[in-house]
Each structure stands twice: as C-alpha cells, then as structure tokens.
Amino acid sequence: MVIYLDVLLLENFIVNTFLIFLTSDTLKIRAKKLNVLIGALIGTLYVITILFKSLNVFNNIPVKISMALIMILISFRKKNILFNLKATAIFILYSMLLAGLCIFIEFNKSGGRLDYGIIINFSYKKLMIALMVIYLILRRVVFFIKDRKILNNYIYGVEIVLDSSVKKIRAFLDTGNELVEPITNLPVIIVEESLFTREEIKNYKYYYIPYNVINGSYGRLEAIKPEKIMIYKEDSVEEKEALIAFCHNKLSGEDDYQGLLSRGIL
C-alpha cells in the first residue's frame, strides 16, 4: 500500500478544520480562525500515529478522546470545563457521523477497501473534501455578509458644518463611547483629523476632552464646536449640538466610517 503523506495530511487538515467550524456553528460560538487552524493542525499531526506501528500505543480510545479535547481547548480557548466537555462530545459525534458516512458509501461502492482504519481508493473522497471546502468558504461569506449588515445598521451619515466648509462623513454608533465635554456636557463625536485642514479649524476655540479606555490608558482629545451637525439615517435627519474631537489614526481599516458617534447623541 502506497500512502502519500502530504496528501493524507492535507486532507485530514481540511476535515479537522471542517469539523471544528461545524462544532463552532452548533454551539453558536465564534472561534478565532488562527486558533481553529492551530487546533486542526495538531489533530492532523496525530494521524501519523496510524502509519507507524511503533506509535500504535497512542492509537487507542483514551488518547483519541484526549486529542479531541486538546483540539477543542486550542480552538476555543475557553476555561469553562462543562463547555469544553460539551464541545468535545459534539466534535467526536460529528467525527463519528462523518466516518460512518464514508464507510457506508465505501461498502456500497466497488473499487475501495479499508486498511488499518484508512479508506483506500475511496471514489467519493474528493467529492467529500470538495464539499467541506465549499462549506468553509460559504461559511466565511455568510459571516461576512452578516457582519456587514450589522455594521450598516449602526452607521449614520453626518454632515459637519464649519464656517468655511461642510464635511460629509459616515460615522459608527459606538455604544461604549460616552465621551462628553465636562463643562458644557455636550456629546463628543470622534472624527479622523486628516479630513480637516488647519486652515478650516484655525479660528475655532479648542476644547480638551479627557478620556480613558479599558486597558488603563488615558489622555486628552482636542475638539471644536462646529456651527451645526446634521445626522442622517434612512429617511430622517436631525440637527444636533455636539463637539468634534480629532483622532490621529484611521477609525476603520476598510474605511467603512470616518467617525464615532457617542451614545448620548441619539
């Protein structure tokens, strides 16, 4: 029997990734892709124990269950014991169902055989792998579309009216942003500084807004009070009184928005 190790490892890696994501979807838990890939890789390396008789000591049920638990721990990084046991049980269940499906198809088709726990010349193997790859791709596309839909629900059109210009931006409603100017108690909209020129804002009085974040860092933001702020959402428009604070960095890597609305502005 000839086994191509690279093909065997690649196929097992795809299967493990598929099973972990399927477990993730069942539990409705979103795992980090890098963690899932590392967990799948660990499980893929374990398949080598099947190929060498000297490693058969690791090819027993307790070790297999332990390996499944290790893959779950690496993929989800949860400290909850009950969650890890539940996820491991679901992962093993899906593995058994997939293996049973493959054996069922094998025994009902000619041209293949089962040696040492490995299905040889399995005519449907490429089809199964292709379906798993399609599932992983479609899963990512669906999550991307859902994320974009949720993101768009929190994005508003904002018109900032200055004495010499008007800036139209897209701003994200940050529910954790409670910035207000301490004296006037006006809400603060954080906007990318690169959108403004010094000439446009040089005649405005500057406010300094203290802030702090969860990681303990703190500082002050420079802000101005424009002539008027208009907020657009679907068919409605509202005029608001607020300060514009300047941020030196880009707020969205994909440039989906250029400002952050505080919770108190709506």
Q: Distance between CA 48 and CA 53 in Å, rounded?
A: 10
Per DSSP, the three-state class of 224 is: strand
Q: Distance between CA 173 and CA 264 in Å, rounded?
A: 10
Task: State the DSSP code for 176.
Answer: T
Q: Is 174 assigned a catalytic role? A: yes
Query: 25, 26, 22, 42: which is closest to 34 by C-alpha?
Result: 42
190 beta partners: 245, 260
Q: Distance between CA 149 and CA 211 in Å, rounded?
A: 30
Distance of CA 148 to the CA centre of its chain: 12
Q: What beta strand segments (E) does the chain contain?
A: 113-115, 118-120, 155-161, 166-173, 188-192, 207-212, 218-224, 228-233, 236-240, 243-247, 259-261
Q: How far is CA 228 from CA 67, 200, 239, in A?
A: 61, 15, 7
Q: Which of 174, 235, 255, 256 is catalytic?
A: 174
Query: 255, 121, 259: which is closest to 177 by C-alpha?
Result: 259
Stated length of the chain:
266
* 76 in Cβ contact with 29 (< 8 Å): yes
Name the residues annotated as catalytic: 174
